[in-house]
Structure formats: structure tokens, C-alpha cells
Structure 1
Amino acid sequence: MRTETKHRDGSGMVNLARGVALAVSWGMVGCGDEGPARQPVSGVITLYGKPLPSGSVTFAPLDGTTAATAEIRDGAYRIGRSEGPAPGRYQVEINAVKPTGKRIKHPDLPSETIEEVRNVIPTSYNVETQLAIVVTPD
């Protein structure tokens, strides 16, 4: 039996819209004279006023540059210069999944099941995000 995780976007599964306080803070640092080189990015993400235990944050480019993703651990994330975003505008997507305790059919292998998970972050911070940043070279 395979053990895999199926990610769902959470829409319609859990109504977390009420009382959600998601604070995102970014600390951006960069240096160099290399033109539009990638920049290191770091910050803290909280949910309901507490550091998000685990998840991911993705900086999706709005102007054709390369996306960058970081793992969130105890609320903190960091992307080093070699993998960081290039200067430009980015949409910010935050995801954190949690098992539902159910097993569901594997979408590609009907004879197998996988663990079902749901996104605990409201869709307004991922698939419907309005969060955006501008990464600038320093």
C-alpha cells in the first residue's frame, strides 16, 4: 500500500473566514551590483495571533520572473539568495495542510487509497490571495 498525501485547497471544507487573523511580515535583505539577481527573503507568519507551526509560503511572480517557495517552521521562513525571488512583483500564497483522519481513493490509482488532508489556511491567503509584495534589489 502506498502512503501519499492529497492536497486540497480547503474551499468549502472549513469555514475559517470568521475570526481569522493572519499576519504576515516579511524581512527582505539584498545586496550586490549584479542587476536583477535573486534576493534573500525571510519573515514570520502567524495564524490566530500564533506562529504557524508548519506550512509553505510561495512568492508567485506577477511579471514573468521565477517563483520562490519556502517551508514554514514555527512561524518562520527563509529563502536564501540562491533560491530567492528576483526583483519584481509577487503574489503571496500560504498553505498548511492537516490530515482529516480519512483515507480516500487515489486519483490515479483507483485500487489504492491515500490520506486525505485539508488546507487549514483560508483560501483568501492562497488560491484567492490578495497578498502581494514587491521585491527590490538592495
Structure 2
Amino acid sequence: MFRMIGLAGLLAVVGAGCSSSDAPPTTTVSGQVTLNGVPLETGSIVFAPIDGKGPVAGGKIKDGAYSFSSPYGSKRVEINAPRVIGQKKSYDTPDSPVVDVVEEAIPATYNTATTITAEVTQEGSRKFDFDVKAAPKPVKK
């Protein structure tokens, strides 16, 4: 959850620093994201420059589909899908508010320790499909 908030802040700062004259050229990228072969219901996807230079781009995933503008170049791809798995008290008092307990549904190899890349070019396809593999989560009692 905090990672998504931080990402949103990063995207806002990166976007705020670019005027139309100094922004790199972009193109629309799109595709499908599946989790174990099934379209990912909701989530987010980020294309970040592999060399760490330049703006980060990203968008929401809904019913497996995404589409957003990305600068050209070699990108590291991060896919996130936080899920509410329960609720807990904020603190241990009878009148404590309840907060959601969130867990990432996507393995780290697809986000914080991603190994996925995409090459966004002026020519060729700008459609990138990703089939994420994850072991089923054990049922908590």
C-alpha cells in the first residue's frame, strides 16, 4: 500500500517537472496482464528506465488490460496487485478504528525484484503482454 502511495508521489513529481518543451517523446503502450492465465482483475503497471534516467510511466490494470503513454527506451516493468485479506484494529483499545490488511498478490520477481523488461520503440509493436505466475496463497485460519 505504501509502495503504491510512494509511486503515485513519484509520478506526480516526475510529471510536474516536465513541460511540453523538455518532456521526452512518448507513445502509447498497451497490453494484457494475466495471473496464472486469468486476466488480472485490478492492479498497476510501471515502466521505469533501466538506466534510471528519465521519467517513470505507468497506469492501472483493469480486467487484465492496460494502456498509458511511455517514453521510448529500455524499461524495467513492475506489476502490482495489492489485495485486502482482512481487517485489524489500528491499536489495542475497544474503540479502535479498523483498517484493512493488505497483501501483494504478485510475487516480488514481477515488482520489487522485477526481472521483466520491455523495449519501447518508434517502430514495431507497442503491445506488451505479461503472464504472471504465482503459487496459490495458503488459506489463513
- The TM-score bracket by the shorter chain reads 0.5 to 0.7
- Partner residue of 2:42? 54
Q: Compare the two structures and name the one with the higher helix fraction.
A: 2
Q: What is the rounded CA distance, in whole Å, between the counterparts of 2:116 and 2:31 in structure 1?
A: 14
TM-score (norm 1): 0.64
Q: Which runs of 5+ in 1 are unaligned?
A: 1-5, 10-35
In the TM superposition, what is the alpha-carbon distance from 1:104 to its structure 2 partner?
Answer: 5.3
Q: Gaps (5+ residues) in structure 2? A: 5-23, 124-141
1:1-138 mapped onto 2 (5 Å cutoff): 6-7=1-2, 37-63=25-51, 64-79=53-68, 84-103=69-88, 105=90, 114-138=99-123
Q: CA RMSD in A?
A: 2.2
Paired AA for residue 87 in structure 2:
K
**TM-score normalised to the size of structure 2?**
0.63
Q: Which amino acid aligns with 2:31?
A: G
Asked if the contact 2:88–2:98 (Cα under 8 Å) also holds between the matched residues in 1, the reply is yes
Between the aligned partners of 1:55 and 1:112, the Cα distance in structure 2 is 26
Amino-acid identity (%): 38
* Deviation digits for residues 84-128 of structure 1 (CA, Å, limit 9, x no counterpart): 22111110000001112122538xxxx765312011001110011
